[in-house]
Structure 1
Amino acid sequence: MKHSGCTSVHEFVGDFIVYRNLEAVDERLPRLAEARRVLGDGQGPVPRKSEASYARVVAHLLRAARALDAPGVALRRLIFVGDTRLNDGTAFANLCDVGGWPGAAFIGAEDAEPERVELVEQGPTALYLANRWAALAGFEGFCHERGLPVDEGTAVVLDLDKTTVGARGRNDRAIDRARVEAVRETVAGLLGGEYDGSAFQAAYDLLNRPEFHPFTADNQDYLAYICLVLGSGLMGLDRLVAQVRAGRLASFAQFIAAVDGQAGYLPRGLREVHGEVLGRVQAGDPTPFKAFRANEYRATAARFGFLSDDWPLEHMVGEEILVTQEVREAALRWRSQGALIFALSDKPDEASFPPADLAARGGRAIHRMETHAGG
């Protein structure tokens, strides 16, 4: 492996990208409300990546983006590059279904096993599962063999997190570290002198396990808030874990309702934070802990491009969030062949764009930040 200088995702995607709120960064593209109106989907919570309604909006945006840079050209096939078989594989299948497109998806995640590629046929679509990101170089040949040339009739959709940046199995620890740092900074800042770093880490590490995902909804806002409540002393970790495992606390909604019943025991500052989070949860906001997400942006941005060029890549991958060189090379090649390149991120907008104070000082969206490319 080697790094290949510095770049940004913007180099090969531009602003053809949506973060969790499904509002395209390129303002020439339809807004979510407009897309829903055209599609007849109505209003309500912003759909998540694995939902068919999410795919309908993205397919609408893909066609609109193609019309901007290649008027009159119809999209006839879909290529997807991601890192998770379940979430990305489902998003890919839904996109092909609602768009009426044949397609193929490369799903990459490096591990210590011998190099392998597994093909999963799904009618007019296929998953190309690889445990090396370098296998992306052979993926285009596979697509051609299936009658899927990558040209101006092709939409290429890139997952952003742990695919285009922070490649899963190789560089994803840097993304995870930024998130944990953001939770820690948020909780420590609000608890002040009452903050116990060891207790926080124990609670976070335990409750972040898949066993507790039904309770936390695998939502980092919820987990950050839970860690804050535990740190305040309102509830102990052992008691919470026992109640979750016994089924007495089955969801975050139950937890925050229980906290609300005891909110009078919280210090005034934490009581105000609780009220803000509770109000946003009740309003259906999936990212209700805004202070945490602002800190997540700061922690993530701090891990872009901060190391010197002479760092060996094998050490760099654990510290700096890198652009995945294999994805970069493929995207640049496919764009030169006329394909539409579009990126999706499940990262909340609040963690992807700079807070107002940083924006005023030149802060940039995550996809516009420069960092090393490695692979």
Structure 2
Amino acid sequence: MDGGTQATLLRYRILVDLTLILARTTRRHDLLDAVHLHMGQLFVAPITMLALRGPQGQWTCLTREADRLHHKTLTPQADGLLERVWAGRLRLTNDLATYVQQEGVTLRRLDQASALPPTASWMGVPLGHPGADVTGVLSVQSYRQAAFSPQDLELLEVFAAHLSVALDNAALRERLECEAMTDELTGLGNRRRLMLEGERAMAQGPLCVALLDIQDFKQVNDERGHLVGDAVLREVAELLRTCVQPSGEAFRLGGDEFALLLPGPVGDQEPRLRQLRAALAAMPADLAAEVNLGLAGSRPGEGLDDLLGRADERMYQAKARRVFVDPPRAPAPVPPEH
């Protein structure tokens, strides 16, 4: 077996190993990392680029040049290199400067701070197909002319086909996971997401939890119908989503019950919650709602379940007294726990 044949077999073995890595990788972010980490094993090329296509035609580009990794979003062009690859008009040029001059294409350097030479050889293949969840272009580039062969292009096309499948699978998995943690009616996170995000937030610093339900919501459903009840829930959910921005998150726990994760101490939250009450009062008359709300702040050494339990207790105290915020503005001394 001659040296050329051995080198070809070695590259195809590397390709098989890479496709196995792609098959075992379930997150798109990890897939992007794997592409840039391993592409150098297939091609003698200092530049690799993965450009994912957005819904408006924009390109989200992750590029590795030498040891420099950077992100950039490009607006779509009528006739750019990426658009030509996607349209099937370009795959390989071993003299990019001449190609650009002859075709009248405008080049855009992704890393403006780079002092490295310009690309001389350029190879790119499409990912996915029109209508797929994930589409884009995979490109390999070199500083020297005549760097790539037809065999290189064939390897890139095979690798891109496997990468397209892996990206689609990862996107599907992420969508299913998102749906499993999202309330279908309001688009807010559900109880499962609350527990996940709450644990993360508690590990990062002081945290408040607000639990609330809508006063007399059953009466709305009974007297005005479930369609009106659903409209009230969606309207309240949107107000909650706006109220917690930019650092908090709102959740629907089920029925007319909601939760808010609010980073920071209790004293920082009450003005925000009073704004929420004003926004609720300003809702259209046919969707007007009042809420019972309990607010609790984290204490050293307690877990998320403890914090949720105290917020729940205060919500029911508020429901009994028809008051909006509990506890009062000036925090009372904390009694010893038994």
Q: Over alpha carbons, which structure has the higher Rg?
A: 2
TM-score normalised per structure 2: 0.30
Q: Which has the higher contact order (CA 8 A, sep 6+)?
A: 1
What's the TM-score once normalised by structure 1's chain length?
A: 0.28
Name the structure with the higher strand share.
2
